[in-house]
Amino acid sequence: MLWFRSSPPRDSDTRPLLADYDAATTLQSEAAAKLHTYQMIRALSKGYYPSTEQLIVHLRVLLSVDLLNPTNAQLSADGRRLVRHMRRLIEELIEFLRDKNSEDQIQEFLWCVTRAQIRLDVGDMMQRAERAKAGADVGVGGFPSPLMIGGFFFKK
């Protein structure tokens, strides 16, 4: 039965949805890189968070930027020290993400927090605060309040 045989999958159906930087021309590769950056920013604006591995890759790219090169001759001694500290901070962040966030717990927590619906009964809170203030103004058992006692000591 030849007509029941499944057709082989087309190349476009099985290719992963990753950025294609091996385009035919430099113009196409630049456009693909810009589109990939746009897609990342759009995903962040829609509330999606990058995985730990994606964060580590982006931080490593940041470390390779010429601006964070501590041997840059155009920097002063304080500038080099600042660059070294920034590089160390980024490296420590990478280690933190690798050691403490291997299963994307921080991203999951942020995702849950941004979607949590918290409702406060402000009217009830105000009534309770007014009752508590009224009780504090009366004092405990008819004794004068500490403000009143302090007023006796600091009068001229």
How buried is 21 (Cβ within 10 angstroms: 0-12 exposed, 13-18 middle, 19+ buried)?
exposed
- From CA 140, how far away is CA 144, in angstroms rounded? 8
- From CA 139, how far away is CA 141, in angstroms rounded? 6
Q: Is the pLDDT of residue 5 over 50?
A: no
- From CA 65, how far away is CA 136, in angstroms rounded? 60
Q: Is the pLDDT of residue 82 over 90?
A: yes
**What are the boundaries of each domain within the chain?**
49-115
pTM, 2 dp: 0.54
pLDDT, averaged across the chain: 78
Q: What is the pLDDT of residues 26-79, one digit of tens each?
A: 888 888 888 988 998 898 888 888 889 989 999 999 998 888 888 888 889 999
At residue 1, the pLDDT reads 42
At residue 96, the pLDDT reads 92
- Spatial CB neighbours of 83, under 8 Å, sequence gap ≥ 6: 67, 68, 69, 70, 72, 75
